[in-house]
Each structure stands twice: as structure tokens, then as C-alpha cells.
Amino acid sequence: MKKILFATSEAVPFMKTGGLADVTGSLPRYFDKEEYDVRVILPKYACMDEKWKGQLHFLCHFYVNLSWRQQYVGIFETKYEGITYYLVDNEFYFAGNMPYHNIYEDVEKFAYFSKAVLEALPYLDFCPEVIHCHDWQTGLIPVFLRTLYGDEHYYAGIKTVFSIHNLKFQGRWMLPAVMDITGLPKQIFTADKLEAYGEANYLKGGIVYADAVTTVSPTYAHEITTPEGGEGLDGLLYACREKLYGILNGLDYEEYNPKKDAYIGSHFDSADMSGKAKNKAKLQQALGLPVDDKVFLLGMVSRMTDQKGFDLIAYIMDELLAKEKIQIVIVGTGENQYQDMLRYFAGKYPQKLSVTIGYSESLAHQIYGSCDGFLMPSLFEPCGLSQLMSLRYGTVPIVRETGGLKDTVIPYNEYTGEGTGFSFANYNAHEMLHTIQYAMSVYYGKKDAWNRLVRQGMEQDFSWEKSVLEYGKLYHKLTE
């Protein structure tokens, strides 16, 4: 049986700020229990929901040296849906009302966490063959393992996989401070190892020292080796391409299931879509939009940032809402400029635009389960889960061809009828607008073609099973 330990800064149901938590929380459950023992280790945050804290039991405690500091480590354990979770306790590092704070605090916090993960292993009665590290917060685990622990008998033979969920976030901070925090030898803070552009870089450390590097879609794996998508590390990633794998994220098909989703009022499937029409009317009513089953209802569930294409939306919103027969519902939070922009347009076009600032899991599911189309005009998108959710619920995605969006949405072909959505290539506001207008022309003028698109989208399989096969192959390759 292969023993795999996921190391992550967040995982559902214990802590979630984004898609990373969905991946690390749901992926382990899909491995065959006869073949794999996959466990997860993450911090025990003070801001975690009390109901989870009550289910943890204390396992052990010890101390780690962080350069010249000695720090307490408590290890708690629990089981959730058949998976063992370990939580690292230290109230100095994991206090506060959210998991991440200022970067100068976080670089010390996650250096501590990385060391605690490795030093916990002898206490756990679980020696992994592979430690699967997720994002920059765990980038030092492969570094510590190879430089400080590699010769010790207990750690001999442990392999590491480092997964990049979003290359934009790298864990960069001043070299002297990181040298002081980590106690790592001075000779590894060089341009071919941990140093990048005059700073220490945790993500770079993970890439250099891990046995394999993965990211969350094949297209993104290519994009990050180019100057346009490499966020300053394209040269390194190109040089490491022999150990770089693009494995598409999956979706938890139990949680996102239009036949039994508790958040939507009326259930449906591809054979009977009548429930979706009822959901649409209910959502329009709840959000104060005119109830109209014939109008094209476009949804967005997103962070309101440049990365997610909100500068394009700002540019064409007047043109779209003034001229077109459309309703748009948007939920999310983000940069003030985009929140203010959306509030302005919602005030100007109250019959056509509903904006909810904030995040609601319930409302998000209702958007997937009610809308006709779903918009994701991202500047870059490592994988994206929202387009997978929209496909699952028969909500036709309109996306920019980047990263995982390109890998998962098949553009509609009006001659063959093939496709699962609509896409545009260039990061351009009017190219996006024309694609939305084209989608609407099919919705209004070619109902049979539209319904076929919906069905084809719902028949796609983006469950975790495929991803698990790919990760399984990689784990076997590393440990043979």
C-alpha cells in the first residue's frame, strides 16, 4: 500500500479561503483505500470553526528549532470521511482571525509549519513514501528534507511532489530575514536554488528541490514555462520541464450534483431540465430582477480582480446592458474599484444587473443551478473550478482560452454541433463582448443547438477519478 501525506495550508472542511482547500480536502477521498493510504496535515488555526476543534484529539507534542528559536509543536488528529487529518498546533503562529496575514509573518509561520511536518513524522506511526506539498506555504518541505534531514535514516527514501496551484503567489521575502528564520545553509540562497531577484522565494525552493512538480492543468503547465505566464520563474520552469506535469483538477461530483444539491430548490438532470427553469424564476425573484423565463441569464461567481477579467467587464458593461436583452447576476468580493464599478452599474440598470458583494455558498450553487450562461474572462486561470461546476449544472460557460479553461471548455462549432461552451482567445473587451453576443444569438435563435450544448456539457466527466489515476501513476513512478 502506498503511503502519501498531503501537506497544505488549508483543506475543507477545516479551513477554506479558495480552491486550494477544495483540492486538498476532496482529492484524498478518491484514492482507492486498498491501494493508497492518503493522509493530510495542515495548521490548527485559532479561527477554525469550533465544531471541528471539538472533534480533534491530542496525539503528542515536541519542540522544533527554527534557527535560534525553539518552538512548541502540538499534533492533533481526527478522521473525516475516512481520511486521517493531522493538525499542527501553535498558538503563537496560528492565532488571529484569518489563516494568512502579512507576508513577513507568513514566511516565518510556514517555515515553522514545514519543519513541524517533517519532525512530526516519527511521532505519527505513519512514514509516507511521498509527501505531496501544495503551494508556496509548503515549499520549504522539500528544501528542509534534502538539506537538513536527507542523511537521517528515518527520512531516507521519502520523495516529494510539489503542486503549484497559482504561480502568482510565491512566498517572497528578504534574504537575511529568511536565512535567520530557517537556519538553512547560506550556500543554498543562490540564483539556482532559493534566491530570485534579490529575495528568498519559497515556491522556487519547492520547484528546485522536489522530485516532481505538478500544476493544475496541462495548458497552465505549458503557460508557466513562457515569459507571459511564468511570473518571473519561466526560465526555471522551462529548465525543470522534464519533471513538470499538468494534471487537471477535478470536481467533487457528490457535492456538486443538480439531482440532489441541498442549496437549489428544484432538482434536475440532463433528461429533465424543468427544475432548472423553476430555479431561474426563483433566483430572479429573490434578487429583485424581473421574472422572465425567456431572458438570457448570465452568472458570475468570482473574486473581483484583474486576474478574473473585471477590467474587461468594466469596459463593456454599459454597451452590454444598454443594448442587449440580458440579465446578469454576480456574487463575490475583491478590489474596491471593481466592487464600486459593479454597484454603480447595478444602480444604473436595476432591472438587468444584480450584484452581491460577499460570498455565499448557497447563492453560488443557486447561480450554477439557475443561469443560462456563466462568464469567466480570466487573464490567467491555472485550472478554474467554476466552469466545471457550470458544466455540471447545464449552465453554458463563456470563457477566455487560458489555462484550465482552455482544457475543459470545448468551443461551440455551429457546423458540426460539437462543443460545451463558448470561448475567445485574446484578452480583449470587445472580443469578450462579441462572444457573449454570439452565445446569446444561439440561445435566442437556435434553441435546439443551445439545448444540445447544455446536454453535452452535462455529460462531460470532470470528477476526481481521472486526476487520481494521473497522480497514482506519478507516485508509483517516483517510488519504484
What pTM was estimated for this model as a whole?
0.93
Could you read off the pLDDT of 175-209 as tens digits, one per residue? 999 999 999 999 999 999 999 999 999 999 999 99
* Cβ burial, residue 383 (10 Å; 0-12/13-18/19+): buried
State the alpha helices, DSSP H only, in 196-273: 202-209, 218-223, 234-239
pLDDT exceeds 80 at position 325: yes
Instruction: Give 461's contacts (C-beta < 8 A, 6+ positions apart).
Output: none
Inter-residue contact 206 to 170 (CB < 8 Å): no
Could you read off the pLDDT of 230-244 as tens digits, one per residue? 999 999 999 999 999
Can you name the CATH fold of 274-458?
Answer: Rossmann fold (3.40.50)
- Give the start-to-end residue ranges of the domains of the chain: 2-250+464-479, 274-458
pLDDT band at 125 (very low <50, low <70, confident <90, very high): confident
**In the structure grid, which three cell numbers stand for residue 257, read together?**
450534483
DSSP 419-455: -SBEEE-SS-HHHHHHHHHHHHHHHHH-HHHHHHHHH
- Which residue carries 450534483 as its cell? 257
Other C-beta atoms closer than 10 Å to the C-beta of 286 total 14
Could you read off the pLDDT of 21-77 as tens digits, one per residue? 999 999 999 999 999 999 999 999 999 999 999 999 999 999 999 988 899 999 999
In one-letter notation, the amino acid at residue 352 is: K
pLDDT exceeds 80 at position 12: yes
Other C-beta atoms closer than 10 Å to the C-beta of 414 total 12
Go through the chain and tell me how many residues it has: 480
Could you read off the pLDDT of 373-407 as tens digits, one per residue? 999 999 999 999 999 999 999 999 999 999 999 99
Distance CA 218, CA 99 (A): 30
Could you read off the pLDDT of 409-457 as tens digits, one per residue? 999 999 999 999 999 999 999 999 999 999 999 999 999 999 999 999 9
Q: Which CATH number fits domain 2-250+464-479: 3.30.310.50, 3.40.50.2000, 3.40.190.10, 3.20.20.140?
A: 3.40.50.2000
Per cent of the chain over pLDDT 90 is: 95
Q: Which helix (H) or strand (E) holds 283?
A: helix 274-286
Inter-residue contact 377 to 399 (CB < 8 Å): yes
Starting at the edge strand found earlier in the chain, the sheet holding 422-424 runs 353-357, 326-332, 296-301, 373-376, 396-400, 422-424
pLDDT exceeds 80 at position 151: no
